[in-house]
Chain A
């Protein structure tokens, strides 16, 4: 089974801090994604990456950056955390080697609170 591991289930930070959310997958997937999930807004794509050192903006990239130095690891960075970034963050990965339209596999999520 695919395993996507997010480093923290719960995280509390203060306004203005630089926050790192880490995600690791063990299936050699090329694609990795970061979403945030908010009540009434569903899942929204923040950033994604097709390969090492590659990144693409999703629907709501403002206030975030990402890093993909190794294939298995995709980090989400909040440069200067703000209270409106309090949310559930979900990491996902998928393969595109075999065929297209493969499902994404998700981690358990990090519930981030910014005080």
Chain B
């Protein structure tokens, strides 16, 4: 079946540092890929998405590129802020309506 693997956290960075959170997937079809963010005490918010190979999703300074050859969708941001501290989930949906989630990566940004 489909699966998503993302790096375990927590990831601790200083403000303005460069962020990469790795995500790789396995899927039988042609999935759409997503990054969700969960701020403390809240639900999940869609951060960005990509629906086909080589698509780049971007939002709020975050970017991720759909790499079919490496089955990856790594999340990057050039300069993180304290307000980016949250849990980040990589996910895919394949040929339908079901989401497969990674385990989540907690990001902590220190001033």
Contact = CB atoms under 8 A, between A and B. Distances in A.
Interface in B58-80: none
B44 A42 contact: no
A100 B43 contact: no
Given A50-B97, A96-B97, A100-B95, A43 B43 contact: no
A109 B32 CA distance: 24
Interface residues of A, number: 23
Interface residues of B, number: 24
A41 to B, nearest CB: 9
A109 B43 CA distance: 5
A32 to B, nearest CB: 10
Contacts of A106: 36, 43-45
B42 A101 contact: no
* Interface of B, helix, strand, loop or mixed by DSSP: loop
Contacts of B98: 45, 48
A9 to B, nearest CB: 8
Contacts of A43: 44, 89, 101
* Interface of A, helix, strand, loop or mixed by DSSP: strand
A87 to B, nearest CB: 14
A100 B51 CA distance: 10
Interface in B81-100: 89, 93-99
Contact of B97 (A4, A31, A42): A31
Interface of B: 31-32, 34, 36, 41-46, 49, 51, 89, 93-99, 101-104
11 contacts: A4-B43, A6-B43, A90-B43, A92-B44, A101-B93, A101-B96, A103-B46, A104-B46, A104-B99, A105-B46, A109-B41
Closest 7 CB pairs of A and B: A101-B32, A106-B43, A106-B44, A108-B43, A109-B43, A42-B103, A101-B93
